[in-house]
Amino acid sequence: MKMSKRTAAELVAPMLVASSFFGASLRLFNYAFKRVDYVPETSAEKQKYADAYWQYMDWYKQVNKATWQLHPNDAANHLVAHFIPAENSKRVVVISHGYKGNGSTMANYAQMFHQLGFNVLLPDNRSHGSSAGEYINFGWLDRVDYLDWLQMIIEKVGPEAEIVLFGASMGGATVEMMSGEKLPTQVKALIANSGYSSIEAELAYLLKKQFHLPKYPFVPLVSLINKRRLGYYLNAVQSTTQLKKNHLPIFFIHGDHDSFVPSEMAFDNYSATQGPRELWLVKDATHVESFWIDPARYQRHIVAFLKKYLPERK
């Protein structure tokens, strides 16, 4: 039977549309998930904090620190962290960095905690900094890596270690996702600054805001690509699901003018957790700006939270 040109076009057109959707989704995946070996420049709204940022970086470069490694003989899974010791202290904070950053970009938080008497561990997450990896996993695989970092802390600092987990942006979500795992008893409290509720919701939000694209079919196609590349669908990457299993004290910090991770996600995370919880919604703060607006006030809030759940030893 001879096929008309119209019939052939009607059959081919959906295939072309599907192919174009998949191609666009592949480009989106590579744009968002593929590692970059540099730290992108901060947003224009935060350039006013550049001098302060570099002062913290100067401190980080000069402070005494040791390099820790996981899986050093496994090129695909080799992970690196830096440990800043505190004299005569068993308290340790593990600081999880943000998207396309690395441990050193958290120097401001590291200095704050170090001055409060904490040893500080600053991992480079998979596909960031000196750690291996081709694709960013948005905290889902990192949460398991951090369990190994926790065991290393306990081995090196001792079983009497008192550990706080802290993260900002993607690092905040990483801490939230860790909360649903079986954590060592040495972990006493969690602090999540500007973490998202789920990566699907975050991608859908940014697709609409930045590219004016709908969730469907792009997010499901990106999820399918992620399954092929990293082994899981994106609907697995949910802070809220993990927080439902959490019973540790957790402090959520979020800017009420955050246009990258909307503040509604902070309320979703706050509602999900089962442990003692506090939420500080910072007036006029954009994404991860809460510290920079007033570092002293930020520190006071951190100290007040920790005094409740990590009292001084007598």
CB 303 within 8 A of CB 231: no
Over the stretch 67-85, which tens digit does the pLDDT of each residue have? 999 999 999 999 999 999 9
Cα(120)–Cα(87) distance, rounded to whole angstroms? 12
Report which secondary-structure segment, H or E, holds 82: strand 79-84
Sequential DSSP letters for 107-176: HHHHHHHHHTT-EEEEEE-TTSTTS--SB--TTTTHHHHHHHHHHHHHHHH-TT-EEEEEEETHHHHHHH
Over the stretch 160-210, which tens digit does the pLDDT of each residue have? 999 999 999 999 999 999 999 999 999 999 999 999 999 999 999 999 999
Distance set, CA 167 to CA 31, 173, 189, 250 (Å): 23, 7, 12, 12
pLDDT at site 11: 40
Angle at 170 between CA 135 and CA 180, to 5 degrees: 100
Strand partners, 163: 92, 187
Cα(314)–Cα(307) distance, rounded to whole angstroms? 13
Cα(167)–Cα(190) distance, rounded to whole angstroms? 9
Over the stretch 5-20, which tens digit does the pLDDT of each residue have? 454 344 434 444 446 7
Asked if the model's pLDDT at residue 294 lies above 90, the reply is yes
Closest by CA to 197, choosing from 172, 225, 178, is 172
119-124 and 162-168: which strand pairing? unpaired
Q: Which CATH number applies to 44-217+229-309? A: 3.40.50.1820
Q: Is 80 helix (H, G, I), strand (E, B) or coil?
A: strand
pLDDT at site 16: 40
Q: Is 221 helix (H, G, I), strand (E, B) or coil?
A: helix
Q: Of 35-44, 253-262, 289-298, where does mean pLDDT reach its minimum?
A: 35-44
**What is this structure's pTM?**
0.93
Closest by CA to 168, choosing from 282, 31, 89, 47, is 282
